């Protein structure tokens, strides 16, 4: 039951975090902020954790999960209360940084729980449950926040959103979360560095695949509204296309425990890269809304189920005692993607149009799928570390 309790607490905390992301954007616009300022405000959510995520991963490896979960929850709760206490644009930047830092620390801890509970073969199921928790809160947070703003006003919504993270904090204070502690790495002497992790071929392969899949996800979320507007589609229709993508993610994660019993993680990941690459290549050639919705759903099927398997493979391939550090490296790469994709592809789209962006990402996924398949075929020769160093 520990896993399902953590999933519930994660939904509650993520409701505060995701709701604040929407609330701060709308409140900043209400206070007269420009679109650039709002973009800068949102970038702080991803940029602030980049400074600490790897070292915090090592911290979780060292001290366990209870203290990081408490500290992360306090960070998100404090961010919401600061927004309520001082509803000014300057404070929103502080709240954004606190929310980003707190949630990343909590995120590292709960992924540690999913990686350590049960047997190694249970990890994909554990990460699927956790991913479903995030999907649930991502879906309902904007709805709850929107209605709260209309009924309570912007400022009071900060206080309203803090209530769910307060429940998480109270539960963690009353109940200790016990999970097995990792064994320390046998060769843990000396200073740890990211280079050590990137020097492990099988772990590098997981990180490369994870980075490409994340880029495709961020690209679609960023480019589809622009592409749809250039086709002359109304906002409601663009929302439906994106909604098909989101619904596919939830469905495929719900079915994932039944799929992994028939196919290995690497087969699914490689297939997902080829499927997503082909879908992105076709996307700019289509103008019919119903076909766009189908393609969006197919893309969601390809990308939606990959995250739990990526996390399971990270825990399978990371050196003993450094799993959360490896997750921190992945999170660092994801944050770079979230910060860089809008800037790079926004500039390319302005210069070349949308089609080359879709095609270039599709080609990148195909190349990545070929790379992963080629490396998988030589995997038996690439790991020369003693087996005692791998969990």
Q: Over the stretch 186-202, which tens digit does the pLDDT of each residue have?
A: 344 445 666 777 777 77
Quick one: pLDDT at residue 230? 78
Please, are residues 284 and 355 in contact by the beta-carbon 8 Å criterion?
A: yes
Quick one: pLDDT at residue 33? 81
Q: Over the stretch 335-373, which tens digit does the pLDDT of each residue have?
A: 676 666 655 665 666 566 778 888 888 888 898 888 877
Q: Over the stretch 251-273, which tens digit does the pLDDT of each residue have?
A: 888 887 777 777 777 888 888 88
Specify the CATH number of the domain 194-379: 1.20.1250.20
User: Does this model's pTM top 0.85?
Assistant: no
In terms of Cα–Cα distance, which of 110, 111, 109 is closest to 59?
109
Would you call 306 exposed, middle or buried from its count of C-beta atoms within 10 A (0-12, 13-18, 19+)? buried
Specify the CATH number of the domain 2-174: 1.20.1250.20
Pick the more confident residue, 113 or 323: 113
Pinpoint the residues of the chain covered by CATH 1.20.1250.20. 2-174, 194-379
Q: Over the stretch 39-89, which tens digit does the pLDDT of each residue have?
A: 678 778 877 888 888 788 888 888 888 899 999 999 999 999 999 999 999
Euclidean distance between the first and the last CA atom of the chain, given in angstroms as a whole number: 23
pLDDT category at 386 given cuts 50, 70, 90 is very low
């Amino acid at each position: 039951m520990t896993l399902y309790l953590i999933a519930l607490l994660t939904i509650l905390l993520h409701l505060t975090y995701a709701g604040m992301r929407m609330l701060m954007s709308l409140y900043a616009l209400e206070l007269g902020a420009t679109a650039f300022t709002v973009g800068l405000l949102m970038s702080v959510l991803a940029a602030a954790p980049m400074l600490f995520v790897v070292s915090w991963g090592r911290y979780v490896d060292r001290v366990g999960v209870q203290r990081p979960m408490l500290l992360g929850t306090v960070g998100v709760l404090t961010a919401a209360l600061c927004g309520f206490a001082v509803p000014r644009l300057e404070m929103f930047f502080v709240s954004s940084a606190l929310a980003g830092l707190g949630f990343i620390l909590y995120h590292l801890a709960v992924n540690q729980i999913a990686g350590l509970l049960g047997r190694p073969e249970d990890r994909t199921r554990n990460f699927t449950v956790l991913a479903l928790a995030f999907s649930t809160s991502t879906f309902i947070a904007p709805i709850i926040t929107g209605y709260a703003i209309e009924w309570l006003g912007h400022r009071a919504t900060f206080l309203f959103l803090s209530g769910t993270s307060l429940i998480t904090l109270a539960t963690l204070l009353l109940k200790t979360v016990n999970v097995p502690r990792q064994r320390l790495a046998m060769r843990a002497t000396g200073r740890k560095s990211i280079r050590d992790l990137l020097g492990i071929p099988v772990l590098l392969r997981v990180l490369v695949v994870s980075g490409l899949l994340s880029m495709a996800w961020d690209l679609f979320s960023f480019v589809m509204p622009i592409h749809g507007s250039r086709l002359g589609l109304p906002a409601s229709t663009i929302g439906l296309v994106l909604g098909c993508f989101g619904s596919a993610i939830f469905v495929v994660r719900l079915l994932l425990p039944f799929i992994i019993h028939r196919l290995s993680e690497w087969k699914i990941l490689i297939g997902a890269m080829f499927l997503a690459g082909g879908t992105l290549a076709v996307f700019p050639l289509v103008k019919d809304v119903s076909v766009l919705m189908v393609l969006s759903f197919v893309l969601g099927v390809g990308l939606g189920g990959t995250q739990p398997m990526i996390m399971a493979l990270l825990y399978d391939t990371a050196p003993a005692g450094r799993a959360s550090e490896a997750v921190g490296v992945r999170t660092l790469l994801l944050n770079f993607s979230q910060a860089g994709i809008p800037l790079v592809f926004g500039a390319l789209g302005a210069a070349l149009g949308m089609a080359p962006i879709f095609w270039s990402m599709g080609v990148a996924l195909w190349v990545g799928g070929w790379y992963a398949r080629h490396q998988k075929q030589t995997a038996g020769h690439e790991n020369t570390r003693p087996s005692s160093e791998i969990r």
